[in-house]
Structure 1
């Protein structure tokens, strides 16, 4: 096949890798509008399930990613001046630099014979009349998707809270949550390490808090200084780093949940964030995008008819995506309704933080949901002969 991949993110690059591994005769070119080595974002999170998948389909890139990754197996939750609690969580997570991840995939794709052209923006699939397949991996703002939004049935739901994605030289040994109360409401962040001397910090708050603290009219330098003050307890004197806008403002956003009723049109197929997005609070975006890759490659090599292969990919992958996307919506709503939970006793609040993707929690009094969870947890422990699913230490 002659394949064109639009967008040089993880999904497009990994798709080119797996297609070449299955059949080296594929003619594949990846087009990326930004210069080589540039990347938005800081770190990427993933879990063991993704690493095992990567190792199974392309051990070479999996080993390179593992060598550049850092790991954690606990949470630390800071509740203003009320408590600091360490949660020994069962699952181990990993972080890796987004730039390094892209470099690994780029080097691996080129080694397999994929052509990669940087600083080449694609706005119309008709630029490639001889392509058998055009993969739209150009992200949440996909130009190819927007050209045919009516066909794809694109819907975008905009979240209420404001958030900003930052970096810091503070190295977090655990996945860290911090909730800070201000005269204008609560503001919180979550931070995680992604290499030996850097961490990602995502700061979030309600729009009322955002305006009350003056972020709506502050430049980036003033915004960062205020956030460093608000989260001084966890930053230990380290600075925050942002991504300056052209007008000098901080890069505050409202999260957009993208869904599509159709995932392909003729020979154009959506991949990753162009097809779907999941709220950052569940840390599943990269995992789901690479899952799309596996489904699409399998479908293309399982059916010689392009239309049949793309129909299978759309049908099967959309079905798989529904559950994590639904869980991500519940997680986002939990944060949007933080006042409902923040005044609970610290251990109760943190238990519900862990359960934030539950479809039942939003419709159940928090104290009742916690009590039911405690009872079922004890019964489960008795049946298995084990102890609690997590333990904590508090500085209350």
Structure 2
């Protein structure tokens, strides 16, 4: 089968590898508009559960990637100067470019061609393919030019965020919330190498407006954020990589394919970064699409229908949880003012409804006990 994949991110790369390993006769080409060494952002993070899924599906790839990851067993919620460590929440992270570089080598060793600095702008350019995969990210033109066929919905959320990095190396995945005269600033930060950390800054839209970020230069924006998080950065700089203020698009498609065209990864649906599952979902998409073809052979339409059938139930659960999570951040100013640090950390842990009091107690008995002291009624409910 001739397979052409638009976008060489985790979804497209992994699907290509799975298909080629299964049947070396497949002719597979990935088209990536960027240079080989170029990428946006800094690190990507996986929960322990996400890595368990990867290991179950592909032990070899798990063993290939994990030596290049930074790991830690806990999560830290910080409200101003009060830190609440939360046990039972393991994570691992690696540099986005490092992961992609490893994946490039992985697929090329299998005989798959990656055409870098090659921008496909029309499906006509790849019309000779038996299968066309749109794996070109949240702003996929494959999807946007065929929204009616895919049944696309896009909900732009109000919060503003900026994806930065820093040379400050943090001990754990942390969420730091700092109150200022203009509003609450949240930093999502974690190390992804021995010398670097991701440092994503998020604010409510009203805070963004009050500060006047719209009219501020990139340099002044960095200086402002460095001042807000001065105690947390310990003199280390905030580093930009084409960083700019964004709003999150919550994207969903009722139909995942038409004819011989299918979407994967962020092109298919976006999951808010607060649940740390974007890369996991992309790679699980690849596994599900591969399994559909393994089951249906080279019957493209049957395989694409099977892909949605297999993948929809587990993916929808995570997507729904991600959307609840992102809305939690949209009222973070109110929560910081109204809740004690313990209540705030507990609210964070239970925000999606997938973690109840018994699960909090299992993961972190100390947090559960501290919350029970403030809210003894929760013991009766549990």
Q: Which residue of 2 aligns with 1:326?
A: 320
Q: Which segments of structure 1 move beyond 3 Å, counting only runs of 4 or more?
A: 52-61, 389-393
Q: Is 1:115 aligned to residue 113 of structure 2?
A: yes
**387 and 126 in structure 1: CA distance in 2 versus 1, 3 angstrom threshold:** closer
Q: Write the mapping of 1:207-246 to structure 2, written as runs, cut at 5 A.
A: 207-244=205-242
Distance, in Å, in 2 between the alignment partners of 1:118 and 1:159 is: 32
Distance, in Å, in 2 between the alignment partners of 1:241 and 1:387 is: 34
- Gap regions ≥5 residues in structure 2: 371-382
Q: Which residue of 1 aligns with 2:292?
A: 299
SS of aligned partner of 2:71: strand
**323 and 53 in structure 1: CA distance in 2 versus 1, 3 angstrom threshold:** closer
- 8 A Cα contact 1:377 1:388, kept in partner: no
- 8 A Cα contact 1:166 1:242, kept in partner: yes
Q: Which residue of 2 aligns with 1:27?
A: 27
Q: Which residue of 2 aligns with 1:93?
A: 91
Match of 1:173 among 165, 171, 174: 171
SS of aligned partner of 1:30: strand
Q: Is 1:335 aligned to residue 329 of structure 2?
A: yes
**TM-score (ref. length: structure 1):** 0.88
**TM-score (ref. length: structure 2):** 0.91
Q: Write the mapping of 1:1-396 to structure 2, written as runs, cut at 5 A.
A: 1-81=1-81, 83-87=82-86, 89-244=87-242, 251-304=244-297, 305-342=299-336, 343-358=338-353, 388=365, 390=367
- 8 A Cα contact 1:65 1:96, kept in partner: no
Indicate the RMSD between aligned Cα atoms, in angstroms. 2.1
SS of aligned partner of 1:31: strand
Distance, in Å, in 1 between the alignment partners of 2:74 and 2:89 is: 8
**211 and 114 in structure 1: CA distance in 2 versus 1, 3 angstrom threshold:** same
**Per-residue Cα deviation, 1:182-227 (whole angstroms, up to 9, x for no partner):** 1121111110111111000111111111121221111111101110
- Gap regions ≥5 residues in structure 1: 245-249, 362-372
Aligned residues: 368
**354 and 138 in structure 1: CA distance in 2 versus 1, 3 angstrom threshold:** same
**Per-residue Cα deviation, 1:20-72 (whole angstroms, up to 9, x for no partner):** 11111111000000111111111011123333443454444322311110011
